[in-house]
Amino acid sequence: MDRKTACTIYQTLNARYPRTIEGGISYGDPFGVLVLTILSAQTTDRAVAAVGPVLFSRYPTPEALAAADPGEVGEIIRPTGFYRVKARHIIGAARMIVDECGGEVPRTLDGLTRLPGVGRKTANIVLSNAYGTDEGIAVDTHVRRISRLLGLTDETDPEKVERDLMTTFPREVWGDINALLVQHGRAICIARRPRCEACILATWCRYFREEGEVQGSRGAKTR
């Protein structure tokens, strides 16, 4: 897809959806953004938003979480699912931040991806939402799926999808792409039942165009 069309898609989505971060994560709080983004894997915004205040009232700093008992942390974050693994990750990340990073959440992609439980998606979200810098585009299941449907990429590997999106969209909007596509995926482009008839992107969507051609050919055969 050419950049002009991609920018039109971005502008259309940006006009439709508010700028949000998953799980009620606050801007400007690197530690909070990091922990809640790790917890957001394979769960709902509601579950993450529910456990966040309790978790941070008990463990408000990396130092406090680094010294926490995994069992106690696990019970607090149980509603997010996979709570034992997530407890190990957030405690391990806190310990590395304290022991190796001077108590501050790293400000680079390489630094962040060294932390337990942090891949490129989480690192990109932290950089964008906590520090206002964009080294890449966070690619999750919504972004990967919708990017393929629209024709923004033909890849399935998240890093290759990210590379294509970074090539197509101007850098100044990289930080918005994940949130916009996630919201569109939840509201309209639902995985098992996309609401193509209500989609504001249908004009530029490869899937919609190809499905129309298939339906047209089927209709011609029955006549």
d(CA 17, CA 179): 9
Q: Is 101 annotated as a binding residue?
A: no
Q: Is 199 annotated as a binding residue?
A: yes
Q: Which of 89, 63, 57, 64 is nearest to 74 (CA)?
A: 89
State phi, psi for 77 to the nearest 5 degrees: -95, 10
45, 24 contact by CB (below 8 A): yes
- The verdict on whether 121 is a catalytic residue reads yes
Q: Is the dihedral of CA 42, 56, 107, 92 positive or negative?
A: negative
Q: Is the dihedral of CA 79, 179, 128, 148 positive or negative?
A: positive
The beta strands (E) that lie in 17-161 are given as none
Candidates 121, 134, 164, 176; catalytic one: 121
Candidates 86, 134, 140, 176; catalytic one: 140
| Binding-site annotation: residue ranges for [4Fe-4S] cluster | 189, 196, 199, 205
Catalytic positions, written as ranges: 121, 140
